[in-house]
């Protein structure tokens, strides 16, 4: 995601420069460096560059402040959405039914990042860890932790949700 | 009707003010949640450096402008 934004930033950053040289060489709009068209162009270009930079910085902050904590009992996801929204979600590891990783697109393939989807048995929305580095490795680690946890409590694989349903206190205990 | 050039400068300053307000919110996020590690400090200084360069280039490009010049509207002669 951040790689894609940097690539788009470079392309967008070239637009005013190309436009300036095209207008300067093929029209007489900028023949006078004190004319109103020149002023408007410089001001718009400056605002354009400042806000492109701001959005790039914002994207980087969004990326750097997204955090996933994987423990032997749960997955905690802390995500920043825009400037004023922050989400903290938590998934108990015994509820995991299926984990899949996805690397989609040219840049994710080059930079080795993608999404990891964690499916629970409850049929709720999938828990998605988006734009994580080495998603296949992360998916393997989550499955390994889930299997270890299930083995510890002595239940067949994939029946973790039954623990939650059958337990009144909603806690996984050894059977 | 005449519009002075400095109106554009005021509009630009307003855009820059909004830009700085949004930047301050981003700095708050980095300080509050971002552990202030080396990467955060480095990228933040890079960002501030780029902002200073853009503003200085803009001011340099606009240094020769006489901001009290007016744009005239409505002074058209009727062709008969």
* pLDDT tens, residue by residue, A70-123: 888 888 888 888 778 888 888 888 888 888 899 988 888 998 889 998 887 776
- Measured in degrees and rounded to the nearest 5, phi and psi for residue A74 equal -155, 165
A75 vs A35, more confident? A75
Rounded Cα distance between B9 and B7, Å, is: 5
CB atoms A65 and B16 under 8 Å? no
Q: Determine, for residues A46 and B57 on separate chains, whether the beta-carbon distance falls below 8 Å.
A: yes
Higher pLDDT, A67 or A159: A67
Which site among B26, B37, B72 would you substitute to test the A interface, given the most A Cβ atoms closer than 10 Å to its Cβ?
A: B26
Of A36, A47, A83, the CB nearest to B25: A83
What predicted TM-score, i.e. pTM, was given to this entire model? 0.71
Average pLDDT of chain B to the nearest whole number? 86
| Band (B53; pLDDT cuts 50, 70, 90) | very high
**Which residues of chain B lie closer than 8 angstroms to A42, CB-CB?**
58, 61-62
> What local confidence, expressed as pLDDT, does residue A128 receive?
85
Question: What's chain A's average pLDDT?
Answer: 79
- Mean pLDDT, residues A34-49 taken together: 89
Q: What range does the domain containing B38 cover?
A: 2-72
Residue A163 has pLDDT above 70, yes or no: no
Cβ–Cβ under 8 Å, residues A115 and A131: yes
Nearest C-alpha of chain B: how many angstroms from A156? 40
pLDDT of res. A157: 53
Q: How far apart are CA A94 and CA A155, in angstroms?
A: 10
Task: Decide if A46 and B71 are in contact by the 8 Å CB cutoff.
Answer: no
Q: Taking CB atoms and an 8 Å limit, are A43 and B25 in contact across chains?
A: no
Query: Residue B34 falls within a domain, yes or no?
Result: yes
A44 closest CA partner among A18, A16, A17: A16
Share of chain A above pLDDT 90, in %: 15
Of B9, B54, B65, nearest to A34 by CB-CB distance is: B65
Angle of CA points B57, B62, B67, to nearest 5°: 155
pLDDT at A48: 93
Q: What is the mean pLDDT of residues A37-61?
A: 91
Predicted local distance difference test score (pLDDT) of residue A5? 65
| Partner-chain residue, chosen from B8, B22, B54, that has the shortest CB–CB distance to A39 | B8
Q: Note the CATH architecture for domain A67-166.
A: Roll (2.30)
Q: Evaluate whether residue B25 is within a structural domain.
A: yes
User: Which residues in chain A touch residue B64, judged by CB atoms under 8 angstroms apart?
Assistant: 33-34
Task: Tell me how many domains chain B contains.
Answer: 1
- Counted residue by residue, chain A has a size of 175
Residue A29 vs residue A144, higher pLDDT = A144
Kindly determine whether residue A53 and residue B47, on different chains, have CB atoms separated by under 8 Å: yes
User: Which residue has better confidence, A45 or A158?
Assistant: A45
Long-range pairs of A121-130 with CB within 8 A, sequence gap ≥ 24 = A121/A95, A121/A97, A121/A158, A121/A159, A121/A160, A121/A161, A121/A162, A122/A95, A122/A161, A127/A75, A127/A77, A127/A89, A127/A91, A129/A68, A129/A75, A129/A77, A130/A1, A130/A66
Confidence of residue A166 (pLDDT cuts 50, 70, 90): very low
Question: Considering the domain boundaries, does residue B79 fall inside one?
Answer: no
Residue with tokens 């009727």: B78
ipTM computed for the complex: 0.87
Domain boundaries, chain A: 2-64, 67-166
């Amino acid at each position: 995601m951040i790689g894609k934004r940097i690539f788009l930033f470079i392309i967008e950053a070239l637009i005013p420069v190309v436009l300036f040289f095209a207008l300067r060489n093929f029209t007489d709009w900028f023949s006078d460096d004190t004319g109103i068209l020149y002023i408007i162009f410089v001001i718009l270009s400056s605002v354009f560059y400042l806000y492109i930079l701001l959005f790039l910085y914002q994207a980087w902050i969004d990326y750097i402040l997204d955090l996933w904590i994987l423990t032997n009992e749960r997955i905690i996801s802390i995500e920043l959405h825009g400037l004023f929204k922050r989400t903290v979600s938590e998934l108990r590891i015994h509820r995991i039914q299926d984990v899949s990783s996805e690397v989609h697109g040219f840049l994710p393939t080059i930079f080795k990042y993608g999404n990891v989807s964690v499916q629970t048995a409850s049929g709720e929305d999938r828990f998605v860890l988006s734009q994580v580095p080495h998603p296949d490795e992360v998916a393997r680690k989550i499955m390994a932790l889930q299997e270890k946890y299930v083995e510890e409590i002595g239940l067949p694989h994939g029946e973790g949700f039954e623990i939650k349903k059958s337990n009144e206190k909603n806690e996984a205990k050894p059977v | 009707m005449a519009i002075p050039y400095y109106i554009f400068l005021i509009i630009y300053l307003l855009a820059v003010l909004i830009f700085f307000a949004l930047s301050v919110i981003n700095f708050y996020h980095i300080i509050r949640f971002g552990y202030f590690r080396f990467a955060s400090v480095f990228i933040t200084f890079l960002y501030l450096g780029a902002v200073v360069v853009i503003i200085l280039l803009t001011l340099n490009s606009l240094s020769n402008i006489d901001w009290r010049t007016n744009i005239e509207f409505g002074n058209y002669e009727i062709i008969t």
